[in-house]
Amino acid sequence: MNPFSSSTRLRDMIRAIRACKTAAEERTVVRKECAAIRASIDENDQHYRHRNMSKLMFIHMLGYPTHFGQMECLKLISSPGFPEKRIGYLGLMLLVDERQEVLMLVTNSLKQDLNHTNQYIVGLALCALGNICSAEMARDLAPEVERLLQFRDPNIRKKAALCSIRIIKKVPDLAENFVNPATGLLREKHHGVLITGVQLCTELCKISSEALEHIRKKCTEGLVRTLKDLANSSYSPEYDIAGITDPFLHIKLLRLLRELGEGDADASDSMNDILAQVATKTESNKVAGNAILYECVQTIMSIEDNGGLRVLAINILGRFLSNRDNNTRYVALNMLMKAVSADTQAVQRHRATILECVKDSDASIRKRALELIYVLVNETNVKPLTKELVDYLEVSDQDFREDLTTKICSIVSKFSLEKIWYIDQMVKVLSKAGNFLKDEVWHALIVVISNASKLHGYTVRALYKAFQTSTEQETFVRVAMWCLGEYGDLLINNVEMLDIEDPITVTESDAVDVVEHALKRHASDLTTKEMALVALLKLSSRFPSCTERIREIIVQYKGNLVLELQQRSIEFNSIIAKHQNISSTLVERMPVLDEETFNARRAGSLTDAASTPTGPSVSLPNGVVKSVAPLLDLLDLSADDTTPAHSSSGGDFLQDLLGVDQSVVSQQSGATHTSKNGTDVLLDLLSIGSPSAPIESPPAQSNSSIINMLSPSTSKREPISSLDDLSSVSLSSRASPTAGAASMTDLLDVFASGPSTIENNGPVNPSITAFESSSLRLTFNLSKQPGTPQTTNIQATFMNLSSNAYTDFVFQAAVPKFLQLLLDPASGNTLPANGKGSITQNLRVTNSQHGKKSLVMRIRITYKINGKDTLEEGQITNFPRDL
């Protein structure tokens, strides 16, 4: 016999599928079986139709498509026999959902079966309708279901009630038709019918306010009486579960009473006694009893206020917290979180138990208990609760420490009435779990310390003591370095001692030892080392006897591969060795930080915080601060032969213009740098912006030309021909980590230098009008230097043609990469009106393809007219061809 013929039994097909060793074999078996079923359907084989449907349902449960068998369901439903109808309705509920159009064809069969004389067939139709009923079917069949709510058989009434719930959810407008039949079910003695009637009334109360008022007025007393009889009933083996009579009916009745009592004082009063009875008499040592108690607590907390009942309910939840079952404790914590707003004092009585839950082994319970403790904290209990949490912090799991430290810091910041207590707690948290905190937390601590002038000595001593036992937390070490640098002199000889302190003996050498240890820690990151170097510089002025030792420590980083540490080492060494007369002024204590402004900005309440650009800003040659981001727009040199064809964005074009390969930059920037955009490359080349990003290796040499849009005004410059020569422009760009640093100019010796200028020697070419608009004229006076035909000196003269003066005048220029551009500072930043004055600025352009390509330049001019920003742009192409 063919194992995949339509006559194959279901068990044989299941056995064949389970015998498959691979998914491919299973698919093969299913395909063959589906093909046999299709053939049987085409042949209209009525003898095996029910068997085919059984196999299709199993195939459907395996996840394979079975839509071709949907019509077979309808044929089986229309059959007169009960076995065929049973398989047909079961297949209908599995293979078809309410969104499919084929369901419309079964409405008539359902209506006939709902009126059938066989109560078992009526039950099948009700089950199917309760599972797949759509809105259209609900409207068509609601009268039949409503009639069946009064059927003689309790099983039919029960199924009709469940089907009615589906109907009123699909079509809420039909709810009023079921109110009277539903209230009639509440008088049933049969528990199965009664529980479905209670559920139907609950849904009616949620859907219809009219139904809620009707049931509240007519049925509240009857429901209270039913619950009372149920709670006081004797042992009934038919409904008994763990010694409790029908806990499911208990729970359904309590939920309906919750809907009726919420917002109605009279209904709430009528059910107070029975709720108190259920809460006190129900045993809590069984799962069924705990379920009833939990539902009773929810009902008590939802109905109108009764102080005594709420205290009783919260005490029940407190008992739940001592339960060994994790689920029971978790739901108790959830319910207590809701109960805090109703009766905080009652919840506070269980604070110790909740605190123990914070130390639970279950992560979900720990997290929920911590959230509840956070809500319970107030001015009276903040100190003991914080102490418990801080003590637990040291032994808590690593996964839980981040949440715990965040909550502790939030509590301390919110309820810190005394700064000394705030400092103590924050030092403890930082020393135990500082690595889990965000930077803004230790920044806030430094701001508080700065403002607590009477606690500077106490703070630095507390940090010194904590540092002796804990140096693993990075943020703690940073705060300690900052305080030692600012207030290290207070550490010696116990200056500004408080009564609560014990005197300690610390020498100047001990203080330097702490900083040296932090600097040489293997785990210290760049920020920590930078702060340690600054602390050493400040201590060199405060501890004259240790100056030479401090200088020796600083000099060790003179050849460090990290450029920032190298630069700080050289500059700090220069200050200590050559400028002792002004070092005390340079390293004096920082002014007190504005705590209110910091807190407001941290909370995001300052209006200028949202409007201030986040990008780096640079100082342009004439002293105006501008954002770096607009520089990319300046490089949009239209699509001429000087523009790289492959550049598709500002960043890519800038890299092309600078002759910097993106992949090379990414590889050369070290472990702490990922790929850079064009703006970052420009900033690195020109040493603009914050040097906070560490550079682990010196920049590689390159012969590509660069654009110099921003020129320093403190030193005489030579032409820049490659990246190798950047040391003459920027103190942050060096070809070698040691040679470049050693040869850089001492920052403190350059004050006598005047602004650099470009000498205009040689024959002068006729001037050209480079740019002219209705309000501004730019004239270029061109000249050559003898012996360097590829270099052109340009004197730019700006003339104001309008009747309004221009302020904050800024000139920017960009050229293709075959040109090199050097700008000097402008002669001013205010341009008088009506041509009564001018601004001049010198430029030098070197053409590497002299004689082949002419000069081309893109310019941008920004200024303000009566405080309003104005922008003018243009491209200059009318240079003489011999330039």
pLDDT tens for each residue of 230-262: 988 887 788 888 888 899 999 999 999 999 999
Residue 466: strand, helix, or coil? helix
- State the Cα torsion 761-762-765-768 to the nearest 10°: -20
What does the alpha-carbon distance between residue 416 and residue 424 come to, in Å, rounded to a whole number? 11
CA angle 496, 497, 500 (to 5 degrees): 145
Any idea which fold 764-876 has? Immunoglobulin-like (2.60.40)
**pLDDT for the residue numbered 879:** 83
CA angle 135, 141, 143 (to 5 degrees): 120
Closest to 301 measured CA to CA, from 7, 293, 565: 293
**pLDDT for the residue numbered 716:** 35
What does the alpha-carbon distance between residue 413 and residue 423 come to, in Å, rounded to a whole number? 10
In tens, the pLDDT along 625-660 reads: 334 344 434 444 333 333 333 333 434 443 443 344
Confidence of residue 766 (pLDDT cuts 50, 70, 90): low
β-sheet bridge partners, residue 843: 794, 823
Whether residue 421 is predicted with pLDDT greater than 50 in this model: the reply is yes
Q: How many CA atoms lie within 13 A of 452 on its CB side?
A: 22
Residue ranges matching CATH 2.60.40.1230 in the chain: 764-876
In tens, the pLDDT along 110-164 reads: 999 999 999 999 999 999 999 989 999 999 999 999 999 999 999 999 999 999 9
**pLDDT for the residue numbered 85:** 92
What's the start-to-end Cα distance of the chain, in Å?
Answer: 98
Whether residue 860 is predicted with pLDDT greater than 60 in this model: the reply is yes
Closest to 793 measured CA to CA, from 827, 754, 765: 765
State both tokens at 464.
């010194």
Residue 702: strand, helix, or coil? coil
- Of 852 and 22, the structure prediction assigns the larger pLDDT to 22
**Residues with Cβ < 8 Å from 630, sequence gap 6 or more?**
none
Residue 245: strand, helix, or coil? strand
Tokens 């003996």: give the residue.
Answer: 505
What is the domain class of 410-602 according to CATH? mainly alpha
Whether residue 686 is predicted with pLDDT greater than 70 in this model: the reply is no
**Residues with Cβ < 8 Å from 316, sequence gap 6 or more?**
279, 284, 293, 296, 297
What does the alpha-carbon distance between residue 523 and residue 484 come to, in Å, rounded to a whole number? 19
What does the alpha-carbon distance between residue 728 and residue 718 come to, in Å, rounded to a whole number? 8
Residue 332: strand, helix, or coil? helix
**Could you tell me if 374 and 408 are in contact, meaning their C-beta atoms sit under 8 angstroms apart?**
no
Residue ranges matching CATH 1.25.10 in the chain: 410-602
β-sheet bridge partners, residue 244: 241
Helix (DSSP H) and strand (DSSP E) numbers for the chain: 38, 12
State both tokens at 219.
């049925």
Confidence of residue 679 (pLDDT cuts 50, 70, 90): very low
Phi-psi region of 638 (alpha: psi -120 to 50; beta: other; left: phi over 0): left
- Of 883 and 725, the structure prediction assigns the larger pLDDT to 883
State both tokens at 471.
């140096």
**Could you tell me if 275 and 310 are in contact, meaning their C-beta atoms sit under 8 angstroms apart?**
no
**pLDDT for the residue numbered 101:** 79
Whether residue 672 is predicted with pLDDT greater than 70 in this model: the reply is no
Highest mean pLDDT pick, 261-275, 628-642, 692-706, 779-793: 261-275
**pLDDT for the residue numbered 763:** 47
Note the pTM of the prediction, 2 decimals.
Answer: 0.60
State both tokens at 654.
């800038």
Confidence of residue 411 (pLDDT cuts 50, 70, 90): very high
Closest to 430 measured CA to CA, from 409, 413, 453, 456: 409
**Could you tell me if 448 and 596 are in contact, meaning their C-beta atoms sit under 8 angstroms apart?**
no
**Residue 653: exposure state from Cβ atoms within 10 A (0-12, 13-18, ≥19):** buried
What does the alpha-carbon distance between residue 840 and residue 145 come to, in Å, rounded to a whole number? 94
**pLDDT for the residue numbered 586:** 86
**Could you tell me if 470 and 431 are in contact, meaning their C-beta atoms sit under 8 angstroms apart?**
yes
